[in-house]
Structure 1
Amino acid sequence: MRFRDMTVVVTGAGNGIGRAVAIGFGKEGANVVLADLDETGGDETVRVIRETGGEGSFVKTDVRLEEDVVSLMKQAVDKYGSIDVLINNAGKSVFRSPLDLAVDEWDDVINTNLRSVFLCTREAAKVMQENGQGGSVVNIASTRAAMSEPGSEAYAASKGGIVSLTHAFAASLSESFIKVNAISPGWIHTGDCEELRDIDHNQHLSKRVGRPEDIVRACIYLTDPENGFINGENLTVDGGMTRKMLYEH
């Protein structure tokens, strides 16, 4: 229960990695504030948190919008009195040839994935600074910040921006004792593991595809107050895939 009575805000917590992270912090004793546009998913995550003995509340939030983000942080403070940890997880992707990608689609990915990190971190940091206790931010980036497949321009740009924004915020917020780190997941399977093939697992140096719980543990590690000397870093959690040298034989 390392996070007992601490307040953790998780964006994109209605499903997938965000849901797992929210539940994980709930099990560690945190008061978890879940932000998402998916009300059904958000309510379900809250239900699971409470069933496992934790405390959580859902705030419907469009993280692309400044007014929604300001309201999210205010509601977190009004309900639990502080914000100690922020996990910027909300994101979306559009994979299409850059020759066919509409500007509106580009803007939507950038605003959802990158602008949201700026807005949420800025507003949460104001609260952390006012409380005088510091805090911790983790931004969910991606291994696609450093490597790409065709048609991933918007997603890659947003995730690369998150990595850069992470160390910029770490520098800017250091006087307030707010540490900012990123996690770059590789292949994290959020569905039925039975869908996966042997080749899917075996291509990883760790011999398995990632699970949401791998990212949960990384988030808890980076935000643990005892690990305050880790700051401005991007932790890759990908089973070793970005360290492989690939040739065709």
Structure 2
Amino acid sequence: MQQRFNQRVVIVTGAGSGIGEGVAERFFAEGASVVLAGRGRDKLQAVADRLGDETRLLVQPCDVADWGQVQALVRAAVERFGGLDVMVNNAGVAPEGDALDVSLDDWDQALQIDLTGVFHGCRAALPELLERGGCIVNMASVSGLGGDWAMAAYNAAKGGVVNLTRSLAMDFGERGVRVNAVCPSLTRSNMTEDMLKDEALMARFMDRLPLKRPAEPADIAGVVAFLASDDARFVNGVNLPVDGGVTASNGQPRM
């Protein structure tokens, strides 16, 4: 595998499972020193134990909804590895329900983790990234590019991430920091286990998914790594669908 991230330092939030774990594994495999962040120390430690080389890993529990904890996360990365080159804001939740069904607590949690948490990560990382010409990759979603039935909070939060990414790219690109986002569709993870077991639901997904399978975390991780690499040095402000072709459709049914 290429070693595009030798001597570079990467923070990945939500690194204890799913897409975040896959992203952390990809950066580690390409030579980066990786800070594994998330709310569950045990899950993060399990990822670290599997990856191995402790000299290039730091486990740092962090609730991205808490500004102080995110500041501490960035400080810990800099103290351990000497700086920061890439911030991957991946942590997220996905409560279900339309505007009448979703609880106010779930609404607040989705906005605090999925949107404010991304803002916290960007705000805390930017001073370090500006020093080294680093970059940010945010985890948006196809649900931020278009709406879903009965996902009001998630749609609102991910839509916010999409436009926050554009705003940051405009404000900081001229200062040497690129900001992009990836927009996955259905991806195999702990968050989608129940969906993947629902055969009728999966049949409807496959009717809309030209590649005829859910994404694996590694599918998303490869694109995150590309956006963070020098191969994407002229890519800025992009919200890139990684969706197997879902957004290629205009929404009309198969004829």
Task: Measure, in 2, the Cα distance between the counterparts of 1:185 and 1:100.
Answer: 25
Contact persistence 1:23–1:48 (CA under 8 A): no
Give the TM-score normalised by structure 1: 0.92
Q: Which amino acid aligns with 1:27?
A: A
CA shift for structure 1 position 189: 1.2
* Runs of 4+ in structure 1 over 3 Å off: 194-203
Task: Measure, in 2, the Cα distance between the counterparts of 1:246 and 1:7.
Answer: 44
Name which of structure 1's ranges 139-148 and 27-36 shifts more when overlaid on structure 2: 139-148
Q: Secondary structure at the match of 1:149?
A: coil
Contact persistence 2:188–2:216 (CA under 8 A): yes
What residue number does 2:98 align with?
97
Q: Secondary structure at the match of 1:10?
A: strand
- Uncovered stretches (5+) of structure 2, i.e. residues with no partner: none
Give the 3 Å change call, closer, same or farther, for CA 98–196 of structure 1 in structure 2. closer
What residue number does 1:45 align with?
47
Task: Measure, in 2, the Cα distance between the counterparts of 1:248 and 1:139.
Answer: 32
Task: Measure, in 2, the Cα distance between the counterparts of 1:185 and 1:138.
Answer: 13
What residue number does 1:108 align with?
109
Give the TM-score normalised by structure 2: 0.90
Q: Secondary structure at the match of 2:51?
A: helix
What residue number does 2:185 align with?
186
The RMSD of aligned alpha carbons is: 2.0
CA shift for structure 1 position 149: 2.7
What residue number does 1:144 align with?
143
Spell out the pairing of 1:79-228 with structure 2 (5 A cutoff). 79-129=80-130, 131=131, 133-190=132-189, 199=203, 201=206, 203-228=208-233
Give the 3 Å change call, closer, same or farther, for CA 190–105 of structure 1 in structure 2. closer
Q: Secondary structure at the match of 2:174?
A: helix
Contact persistence 2:88–2:139 (CA under 8 A): yes
Contact persistence 1:63–1:90 (CA under 8 A): yes
Between the aligned residues of both structures, percent identity stands at: 33
Name which of structure 1's ranges 79-88 and 95-104 shifts more when overlaid on structure 2: 95-104
Q: Which amino acid aligns with 1:242?
A: T
Task: Measure, in 2, the Cα distance between the counterparts of 1:204 and 1:136.
Answer: 31
Contact persistence 1:26–1:54 (CA under 8 A): no
CA shift for structure 1 position 224: 0.7
Contact persistence 1:4–1:29 (CA under 8 A): yes
Q: Secondary structure at the match of 1:236?
A: strand
What residue number does 1:29 align with?
31
Task: Measure, in 2, the Cα distance between the counterparts of 1:248 and 1:220.
Answer: 34
Deviations 1:74-98 (A, max 9, x none): 0000000011001110000110232
Deviations 1:30-74 (A, max 9, x none): 0000110011110011112216x9821110101001100000000
Q: Which amino acid aligns with 2:41?
A: E
Q: Secondary structure at the match of 1:33?
A: strand
- Uncovered stretches (5+) of structure 1, i.e. residues with no partner: none
CA shift for structure 1 position 201: 4.8
Contact persistence 2:173–2:236 (CA under 8 A): no
Deviations 1:102-155 (A, max 9, x none): 3232111101000011111111111122x3x21111001011112233221110
Contact persistence 1:29–1:54 (CA under 8 A): no
Q: How many residues align?
A: 245
Contact persistence 2:78–2:84 (CA under 8 A): yes
Deviations 1:129-185 (A, max 9, x none): 2x3x21111001011112233221110000000000001001111232100001000
Name which of structure 1's ranges 41-50 and 86-95 shifts more when overlaid on structure 2: 41-50
CA shift for structure 1 position 2: 0.8
Q: Which amino acid aligns with 2:42?
A: T
Contact persistence 1:49–1:55 (CA under 8 A): no
Contact persistence 2:148–2:155 (CA under 8 A): no
What residue number does 1:246 align with?
252
Contact persistence 2:65–2:112 (CA under 8 A): yes
Task: Measure, in 2, the Cα distance between the counterparts of 1:226 and 1:99.
Answer: 45
Task: Measure, in 2, the Cα distance between the counterparts of 1:228 and 1:178.
Answer: 10
